[in-house]
Structure 1
Amino acid sequence: MGKLTPTHQTLPAIQAEEDVLARLKEFVQDKEAFSPNTWRQLMSVMRICHKWSAENGRSFLPMLPDDLRDYLNWLQENGRASSTIATHGSLISMLHRNAGLTPPNISPLVFRAVKKINRVAVVTGERTGQAVPFRLEDLLKLDALWSDSISLRHKRDLAFLHLAYSTLLRISELARLRVRDISRAPDGRIILNVSYTKTIVQTGGLIKSLSSQSSRRLSEWLSASGMSPEPDAFLFCPVHRSGSATLSITRPLSTPAIEFIFTQAWRTIGTAETITPNKGRYMTWTGHSARVGAAQDMAGRGYAVAQIMQEGTWKKPETLMRYIRNLQAHEGAMTDLMEKSLINQKNNN
């Protein structure tokens, strides 16, 4: 009887492990419930965390609170930003929940560790990174230089930048647009039917209208590339060195290719001023630059926060405020009070 006892003791553990594996299998099968970017981030965090756990003799799944605390502290010691560390914590919690396990994040031990990490980041002067804004004046400069170009690449890049600025869509959302998503208003302007965004996933999607100038640039690209009769083709595709468009219905333009559009635009009209890098990057325009620049232009022209949030499909005001904080810093209530007081004082004297 004594010989059977260890076997009986291991049965619950084996059953528990099988339950976790079954839930993880279901999780993977339902990965379409999450955005591709979220899934990529989860895979990256799992690789990093599993490697750390193996090298340090820690448990990966389930992860104990003190192991997660040490892992998050290790991330900070190795130069990871507090926002990145928060993402790691959230995704580890998501993995545990979907595996039917108790997330280690609920422990006060982890709560205090995260609080300490955030406090250290603030005290040591960590700044939230922000893309260099691509403003309306930049778009108009490029339009003047590229609109008459015979280069098919220039036509594509100009049309893309017009859409990126005009719609405030994220580059992954722009890359997914197809020819069939285009319709025309009575005056000829283009209307885009965006099936979904990062924050809007619902039947009916989102409608974006383009200005007459942006509509013209997109129409010129579609005509020159020959994709107008191809409803299933992605709006933006690679341009071969021979000068012909490589139409695609299966694979959208890659993120590096889109980033290169912004790089080429910067090389064409980018400022000569040296930009101080933030976290080792953000020295030129990047994929997020048009979204940031458009939000800042709208704020600078007095549009309400609610209007800007609607255009950029932001759900949280604080996310938008990070983009426009520098613009509105000089418009605070106390600044206004002091300036008006000085004016009144001068008038009275």
Structure 2
Amino acid sequence: MKDLSVFTDLIPGAAPDDDLTGRLAAFVRHREAFSPNTWRQLLSVMRICWRWSQENRRSFLPMSPEDLQDYLFHLQAAGRATSTVSVHAALIAMLHRNAGLIPPTVSPDVVRARKKINRTAIMSGERTGQAVPFCRPDLDRLDALWQQSPRLQHLRDLAFVHVAYGTLLRMSELSRLRVRDVTRATDGRVILDVGWTKTILQSGGIVKALSTRSSGRLLTWIRAAGLADEPDAVLFCPVHRSNKVNGVTTVPMSAPSLEDIWRRARRYAGQTSRQETNKGRYASWSGHSARVGAAQDMARKGVSIAQIMQEGTWTQTQTVMRYIRMVEAHKGAMVALMEDDD
């Protein structure tokens, strides 16, 4: 297996019949237990950590707590965000567990090192980045600009942002929707059979309903693109510059192509200024913008945290609270107390 060679190449002196190699082979055989993104991240972290280990004459697998400490401090010195450092530590621990080894992250020395890295970063001004929110007024502005456009690209992009905002699906989840996943309720509105998400993986799957306007924009795109009789076609497919869809496309659009939709939308909406960001990220709308904006809009309307989490299939309350912290800032008990006195 190709992935197994990646693993064994990183282990000096590994023989085909080694117990460690056998455990890694079983790990690779069952890689479908993890999302494709997690697997890609794991391989990337392995290569980066292995190069550092080679250059500094350290052991990669198993990795000692002392070596992991030094590696994490190396990442911090290289300017990596604390979230990136945490991902590296978590994936190195994951590799060790699946290889039948004790993860070096359980060492008190490593725990202290990670706390030091986090504390140092926060005190030096690092803040967790957040996607620029795409809110209801932004959707309304684009709707007015594109709904009558003769260009297929505009109709597709408009349907895409409507579905992204109305469902709070992640970009990868939007990309794999197919025409067969679209059904109509008795009132004409669209229901999407999403199947599964990053955090919900169950046989029953999940469904998402669209509003009347969003349903109309999606159905307009399907008809204009000639996809109504192509159940296996991806719902959001490439549009050629000749203003045509190049046949039935069953392969989802790439992440960069989907990000281009957001960049194009921001340009057409007249919001060309780039925001000041931490570490240069999230300067414009991106794949997460609709999720952030929709969560904030719901919070402004008084929707409960539990309902927001359900709509966005979030499993951690702190994630949602981080997205809506600016909206919720003036709803605190002390603000209410002081303004009652005033």
Could you say which TM-score interval applies, normalised by the shorter chain?
A: over 0.9
Question: Structure 2 vs 1, CA of residues 247 and 234 (structure 1 numbering), >3 Å: closer, same or farther?
Answer: farther
Q: Cα offset for 1:39?
A: 1.0
Give the 3-state SS of the residue equivalent to 1:279 in structure 2.
helix
CA distance in 2, matches of 1:26, 1:180: 35
CA contact (8 A) 1:139 1:162 kept: yes
Give the 3-state SS of the residue equivalent to 1:208 in structure 2.
strand
Which amino acid letter does the alignment assign opposite residue 35 of structure 1? S
Q: Deviations over 1:32-84 (max 9, x none)?
A: 11111111111111111111111111111111100000000000011111111
1:142-291 aligned at under 5 Å gives the runs 142-271=142-271, 275-291=275-291
Structure 1 unaligned regions, length at least 5 = 1-12, 343-349
Q: Deviations over 1:206-253 (max 9, x none)?
A: 110000100001001100111110111110111111111134554101
Number of residue pairs matched by the alignment: 330
Q: Counterpart of 1:312? A: 312
Establish whether residue 31 from structure 1 lines up as the match of residue 31 from structure 2. yes
Which amino acid letter does the alignment assign opposite residue 67 of structure 2? D
CA distance in 1, matches of 2:17, 2:289: 46
CA distance in 1, matches of 2:42, 2:130: 23
Question: Structure 2 vs 1, CA of residues 248 and 255 (structure 1 numbering), >3 Å: closer, same or farther?
Answer: farther
Which amino acid letter does the alignment assign opposite residue 77 of structure 2? E
CA distance in 2, matches of 1:211, 1:110: 50
Q: Counterpart of 2:331? A: 331
Which amino acid letter does the alignment assign opposite residue 323 of structure 1? Y
Give the 3-state SS of the residue equivalent to 2:193 in structure 1.
strand
Q: Cα offset for 1:31?
A: 1.0
Identity %: 60
Give the 3-state SS of the residue equivalent to 2:280 in structure 1.
coil
Q: Counterpart of 2:66? A: 66
CA distance in 2, matches of 1:200, 1:165: 19
Q: Which 4+ residue blocks in structure 1 deviate beyond 6 angstroms?
A: 13-17
CA contact (8 A) 2:64 2:104 kept: yes
CA contact (8 A) 1:132 1:286 kept: yes
CA contact (8 A) 1:233 1:247 kept: no
CA contact (8 A) 2:129 2:277 kept: no
CA contact (8 A) 1:182 1:190 kept: yes
Q: Deviations over 1:82-140 (max 9, x none)?
A: 11111110000000011111111011110110111111111111100001000011011
Establish whether residue 53 from structure 1 lines up as the match of residue 53 from structure 2. yes
CA contact (8 A) 2:15 2:21 kept: no
Q: Counterpart of 2:10? A: none
CA distance in 1, matches of 2:197, 2:246: 26
CA distance in 2, matches of 1:235, 1:103: 42
Question: Structure 2 vs 1, CA of residues 98 and 210 (structure 1 numbering), >3 Å: closer, same or farther?
Answer: same
CA distance in 1, matches of 2:270, 2:18: 57
Q: Deviations over 1:267-300 (max 9, x none)?
A: 1114355521222121110111011100000001
CA contact (8 A) 2:194 2:205 kept: yes
CA distance in 2, matches of 1:199, 1:165: 18
Question: Structure 2 vs 1, CA of residues 340 and 16 (structure 1 numbering), >3 Å: closer, same or farther?
Answer: farther
Provide TM-score, normalisation by structure 1.
Answer: 0.92
